[in-house]
Structure 1
Amino acid sequence: MKAYVLAAGLGTRLRPLTNQMPKCLVPIKGKPLLEIWLELLEKHGVTEVLINLHYKAEMVHVFLQQYNGPIRVHCVYEEQLLGSAGTIRENQAFVQAGEPFFIINADNLTNINLTRMMEAYLANPSILFMALFQSADPQSCGIAVLGERQMITGFVEKPVQPKSNLANAGIYIADERLFSYLTKDTPADLGTDVFPQLIGIMKGYMLSEYLLDIGTMEAYLKAQEEWPYDY
């Protein structure tokens, strides 16, 4: 299996920590977030990843030179950020037709069972599976509305008046049909430019495991207290 790992963000809300390092390398109890992701992906059978880089990319290259795990890692540098949809569009050749693939936002901390998510996808496939969690602050998230058979019947990024509390966890399974919905504009974002087009044909997957968006210093400090996992 293959996975796109989106790791090029600037991490502005994590300053001053990210003045010294890219967001994907911030340590969680001493272990870089990207290392946690690689270990999780390895555990669930992912053999090849594509990681996009931008801010302090040289530090990520140094980290990956020291990585000795079995996953084959490809890095793509973006001189200008392409956005989540733009990165996938520009690197379409990374995946093969007929094979589902993961898309991962590397700024989330989770122990999600990716094997179980893939099994659910294969049992009831759609153009895209979106992992969802119940958010206490839905106005700050991409919010989905679920209909019958887990079909997503509505999706709005950071809605003023949320219609549910089911938030996008930034973890997806998709197949090659997704590429026909990727805008040619750059930058382009999955949440604002693509997912609204997939309403009625993409499905939600309820995440029951731990998940925390390492997007603020408050969340980062919370992770240091809570995160008990080791792969």
Structure 2
Amino acid sequence: MSEDRQGATRGLKAFLLAAGLGTRLRPITDSRPKCLVEVGGRTMLDIWLDALAAAGVDEVLVNTHHLAPLVAAQVVERRQSAPVVRVSHEPQLLGSAGTLLANRKLVEDEEMFLVVNADNLTDFDLRQLIDGHRAGGAVATWSVFRAPRPSECGVVEVDDDGWVIGFTEKPPAPRGDLANAGMYAFGPQVLEEISTPLPRDIGFDLLGRLVGRARAVDIGDSYFIDIGTPAALESARQHRGRVTA
């Protein structure tokens, strides 16, 4: 099932992954999905949709599962604002990579498309990711950051020319602290690397298959945090002046 805003124009498209259960944020997420948690008076959903619009994205697919009607209602609230939003409900979670595969018709004829996790807060300019992908000659380009606890992240190894030469999701003994920041630019050929049956996850099931063919863009000193826990959410709210706009 999907909902479309009228007047869509062909342009850069994106997936905003927002279907997670938010179990680590309970009890907050007992009554609202994680993408509707507010930072600085704005929902994470709105922060990301505005950031994608600012980067030149015309159409976004938002996947939903937990408390999905609330997300759909928020999309209706911003119906007059860019970008065009399509809501795709998942009665059973497909996994982050599974969402891409299930909705491949949206992007399979595109030069490239973006994928971002709705539960990360950052002031990183997505145009840097887009420009890096277009200039890099890779099938995929993903953002990386220096993680304080890399064992909780997807650890990325990158050579001096920016090519990804290694990737391990949540390794018990990380080889470094350079980690996946959950913002990706993909060519449509990446969809061929997602196997069935679903669910399939981007970190566990896709990124490792792209090693040697993907490039990394370092977000540098941009603010970045996963709001997945109450402590992280409180930290994000204290830094709300640096959120993506």
Band the TM-score falls in, shorter-chain normalisation: over 0.9
| One of 186, 208, 212 as aligned partner of 2:198 | 186
TM-score by length of 1: 0.97
Which residue in 1 is equivalent to 2:66? 55
| Aligned residue runs from structure 1 range 218-229, under 5 A | 218-229=231-242
Which residue in 2 is equivalent to 1:85? 97
Using the alignment, how far apart are the partners of 2:49 and 2:242 within structure 1?
Answer: 14
| One of 10, 16, 38 as aligned partner of 2:21 | 10
Moved more, 4-13 or 63-72: 63-72
Which residue in 1 is equivalent to 2:9? none
2:40–2:241: 8 Å Cα contact kept in structure 1? no
The aligned length equals 231
Paired AA for residue 226 in structure 1: H
Which residue in 2 is equivalent to 1:130? 142
Deviation at 1:70, TM superposition (A): 2.0
Deviation at 1:229, TM superposition (A): 3.8
RMSD over aligned Cα, in angstroms?
1.1
2:223–2:242: 8 Å Cα contact kept in structure 1? no
| Aligned residue runs from structure 1 range 1-231, under 5 A | 1-67=12-78, 68-208=80-220, 209-229=222-242, 231=245
Using the alignment, how far apart are the partners of 1:168 and 1:96 within structure 2?
Answer: 24
Percent of pairs with identical residues: 37
1:97–1:175: 8 Å Cα contact kept in structure 2? no
Using the alignment, how far apart are the partners of 1:49 and 1:165 within structure 2?
Answer: 31
Deviation at 1:141, TM superposition (A): 0.4
Deviation at 1:107, TM superposition (A): 0.5
Moved more, 109-118 or 215-224: 109-118
Secondary structure in structure 2 of the residue aligned to 1:82: coil
Deviation at 1:125, TM superposition (A): 2.4
Paired AA for residue 21 in structure 1: R
TM-score by length of 2: 0.92
Deviation at 1:97, TM superposition (A): 2.2
Using the alignment, how far apart are the partners of 1:161 and 1:148 within structure 2?
Answer: 23
Using the alignment, how far apart are the partners of 1:39 and 1:158 within structure 2?
Answer: 30
Using the alignment, how far apart are the partners of 2:214 and 2:136 within structure 1?
Answer: 11
Structure 2: gaps (5+ residues): 1-11
Secondary structure in structure 2 of the residue aligned to 1:51: strand
Deviation at 1:203, TM superposition (A): 1.1
Runs of 4+ off more than 3 Å: none
Using the alignment, how far apart are the partners of 2:125 and 2:102 within structure 1?
Answer: 28
Using the alignment, how far apart are the partners of 1:23 and 1:95 within structure 2?
Answer: 26
Deviation at 1:118, TM superposition (A): 1.1
Paired AA for residue 118 in structure 1: I
